[in-house]
Amino acid sequence: MASVQDISVSAVINLISALVFLLAFAIARLQPINDRVYFPKWYLKGIRASPRSSGSFVNKFVNLDLRTYIRFLNWMPAALKMPEQELIGHAGLDSAVYIRIYLLGLKIFVPITLLSFAVLVPVNWTSGETLDHIEDLTFSNIDKLSISNIPSGSKRFWAHVVMAYVYTFWTLYILYKEYKKISTMRLDFLASEKRRPDQFTVLVRNVPPDPDESVSKHVEHFFRVNHSDHYLTQQVVYNANKLAKLVEKKKSNHNWLTYYQTKYERDPEKKQKIKTGFWGLCGKSVDAIDYYTTEIEKLTKEEAEEREKVKSEPNAIVSAAFVSFNSRWGAAVCAQTQQSRNSTIWLTEWAPEPRDVYWDNLSIPYIQLSVRRLLMTVALFFLTFFFMIPIGFVQAFASIDGIRKVLPFLKPLIDMDFVKSFVQGFLPGIVLKIFLILLPMILMIMSKIEGFTSLSSLDRRSAAKYHLFVIVNVFFGSIITGAAFEQLDRFLHQSPTEIPKTIGVTLPMKATFFITFIMVDGWAGIAAEILRLVPLIMFHIKNTFLVKTEHDREEAMDPGSLNFSVSEPRLQLYFLLGLVYAVVTPILLPFIIIFFAFSYMVFRHQIINVYDQKYESGASFWPDVNRRILIGLVISHLLLIGLLSTKDASQSTPLLIVLTVLTIWFHKFCKGRFESVFVKFPLQDAVVKDTVERTTEPNFNLKEYLQDAYLHPVLKGVDFEVLKELDDEEKNSLVATKRTSRRSSKTVSNGTSEDQKTVSEIQLVF
């Protein structure tokens, strides 16, 4: 076990690496050439014009104003300055609430840390009988501060039990307050929103086939009858997946064409050749520019045909529709009620906002959906517990002997000492790392197979899967050695009371490991996040080869977005560690507090200046966040029970079980109290908004407003050709800036929905 010195050294190393990242960021962000990497949000909002459009040539690329370098940390106060209300308006409620999770971490753990250091650390420290007499200099001082220092059967364990109570009640209190706050924020956000199509619209799935009517007519008749006073209009869903793929392919070809054209312009002597075969590796060699020009022409024709086909053929209409009502009340009623006596058809739910719709999944029949969920649940189980088996195979294959056998021609190469040691030392680790990088994508694909209909729900489901994986493989996997399936096997053959003991007893020993983990993954990882190394490099590559117009440059920006499905489960690990170690090894807590504080600052900066969210779900992920923290709390109780019963203090078990029961009850209570706010739309609020709107704009033509809101993006009027022509006209940056500012004024006047349109236009193209 590491001593305090070891930890300090590790802390210093990680602090330095974090500082290096921060310095690099501080310098990089001041260079005008990187401006679009570090402030894309403002460009998208149309508020910031390129600093490169003015000043000398050098100034366009490098910042020579030395005074700005002195205050290299001044992004921190700047990030904290924007008030929350403005932040919600600027970045959306999702982002604003997301960073509140870090704040929540601080609210929970700062008082807990203070209490722990005031009570538990002295209790542990002064109980030095067990460890003092060992007189071993290498003995860890951290252990003297932890529960390990207390002899078995000591009365001092009561302090820990009492503290477990205090911490639990504090956590529940803060969680309750936060849940209440967030649900109010959500309702206020929904209430203050401008008119949006999704407020009036319901997504209807599993429209039953009718031999006499088209889907469109059938939907209209059904809702005209059953919601006679409220039905307004409907929009059937076209199966435009093939068309979307064609558009995608054309766009990619267009990028290559631009690339080769740029290359040609720079060096007109050299002919640009490519091979037409697999991945450009084989096949006959042709002229690149000609090839892509003809390809694009071909695709344009195909696309036009497909577009015609989608719009005319009845088979292209899937059994789903977006039905709009003449009031929010009508939509809220339809979304919350059952329409048909067969509860697998005419399924209604509140429509996601147009850019949040995941179009591919709208037409899955109920029974198929049910089977898909079953299969994915089984797959998730195997993925979580048995993922090491295929990885093991690949690792065996990626060993020296494996390579020698399968690829004998590489033999002379791998017999070199350097290559050999590389293969032996790094390859297995790299295989695992590649899997872990791919994991979120695999989980997202699994969620897509499960058939969710909005991007936000896909993100939430993936996060749930990832959370399971993190708990099983990172948390328990680090505490108990051996692969997950070996643990599973062991647990199946152990009694339920034995399991918490096995884990609880190793808990204090792993504290230093987790402290190091927090510093590496938490501190340095977050510092790397702010530097945005990958988008930085990608931007400059694109900027060099693809960007011809200001519009292209805008597309090359890649502001990225908060990746909820990955970052939230990871951050839950810190809650879990904090809750588990609060009683066991309080020295771990300050590290977690630093993580939360630092992350809060970094992400606040990022959502203000960088990220551009793909959708706005109104913080509908909060019930998940709340539940997962409670799961952490329950795990902490169970492990404490196990730990204490190995320490001859099992009389505390009933007391701690009471805490567990209370926590589970609290979860149910919160679910009943708040969750419906995140799922349903209360009629009272709907009526208020309807009334206000009817009074202020009595003559608004809602039907026209909703007409095309839920058309598949590739079918919308604005398409690639049109945009391209526009851009050709605006080739010089002066015009482009004008255009940006024009756009900006439009944004201000037309509000959110216009903004959205701009964003989806951009998405459509890139």
Residue number with CB closer to its own copies (474 or 488): 488
Q: Could you tell me what percentage of the chain is helix, strand and coil, using 3-state DSSP and rounding each to the nearest 5? A: 75, 5, 20
CB of 471 to its own copies, least distance (A): 19
Residue-wise burial string across 753-766, b where 16 or more C-beta atoms lie within 10 A, e elsewhere: bebbbbbbbbebbe
Cα distance between the two ends of the chain? 51
CA atoms in the 13 A half-sphere facing the CB of 671: 10
Residue number with CB closer to its own copies (121 or 683): 683
CB of 369 to its own copies, least distance (A): 9
Helix (H, G, I), strand (E, B) or coil at 615: coil
User: Given candidates 273, 404, 680, 703, which one binds its own copies under the rule CB under 8 A?
Assistant: 680
Residue number with CB closer to its own copies (70 or 225): 225
738 counts as binding its own copies under rule CB under 8 A:
no
493 counts as binding its own copies under rule CB under 8 A:
yes
From 89-97, 426-434, 598-606, 672-680, give the range in contact with its own copies by CB under 8 A.
Answer: 672-680
For residues 195 and 689, is the Cβ–Cβ distance under 8 A? no
User: Given candidates 315, 481, 495, 696, which one binds its own copies under the rule CB under 8 A?
Assistant: 495
CB of 182 to its own copies, least distance (A): 13
661 counts as binding its own copies under rule CB under 8 A:
yes
Q: What is the DSSP string of 55-80?
A: S-TGGGTS---THHHHTTTTHHHHHH
Residue number with CB closer to its own copies (85 or 337): 337
> Which has the closest alpha carbon to 551: 672, 722, 698?
722
CB of 335 to its own copies, least distance (A): 9
CA atoms in the 13 A half-sphere facing the CB of 579: 28
Residue number with CB closer to its own copies (401 or 489): 489
Query: Phi-psi bin for 237: left (phi > 0), alpha (psi -120 to 50), beta?
Result: beta
CA-to-CA distance for 341 and 326, rounded, in angstroms? 25
According to CB under 8 A, which residues from 330 to 389 bind its own copies? 332-333, 336-341, 343-344, 346, 366-367, 370, 374, 378
Residue number with CB closer to its own copies (338 or 763): 338
CB of 113 to its own copies, least distance (A): 31
From 30-38, 317-325, 328-336, 732-740, give the range in contact with its own copies by CB under 8 A.
Answer: 328-336
SS (H, E, C) 357-378: ECHHHCCCCHHHHHHHHHHHHH
Strands (E), 310-437: 317-325, 347-350
316 counts as binding its own copies under rule CB under 8 A:
no
According to CB under 8 A, which residues from 184 to 243 bind its own copies? 187, 222, 225-229
Residue number with CB closer to its own copies (148 or 234): 234
Sign of CA dihedral 27, 31, 37, 40: positive
For residues 131 and 143, is the Cβ–Cβ distance under 8 A? yes
Phi, psi of 238 (to 5 degrees): -90, 145
- Which position has the token pair 């295929």? 390
User: Given candidates 555, 681, 712, 765, which one binds its own copies under the rule CB under 8 A?
Assistant: 681
Strands (E), 356-477: none
For residues 59 and 32, is the Cβ–Cβ distance under 8 A? yes
Residue number with CB closer to its own copies (234 or 512): 234
From 51-59, 102-110, 501-509, 669-677, give the range in contact with its own copies by CB under 8 A.
Answer: 669-677
CB of 394 to its own copies, least distance (A): 25
User: Given candidates 521, 552, 685, 761, which one binds its own copies under the rule CB under 8 A?
Assistant: 685
CA-to-CA distance for 351 and 349, rounded, in angstroms? 6
CA-to-CA distance for 590 and 383, rounded, in angstroms? 34
For residues 501 and 647, is the Cβ–Cβ distance under 8 A? no
User: Given candidates 422, 669, 700, 766, which one binds its own copies under the rule CB under 8 A?
Assistant: 669
Residue number with CB closer to its own copies (665 or 700): 665
Residue number with CB closer to its own copies (28 or 187): 187
673 counts as binding its own copies under rule CB under 8 A:
yes
CA-to-CA distance for 329 and 564, rounded, in angstroms? 31
Binding residues for its own copies, rule: CB under 8 A, are: 183, 187, 222, 225-229, 329, 332-333, 336-341, 343-344, 346, 366-367, 370, 374, 378, 491-498, 661, 665, 668-669, 672-677, 680-685, 687
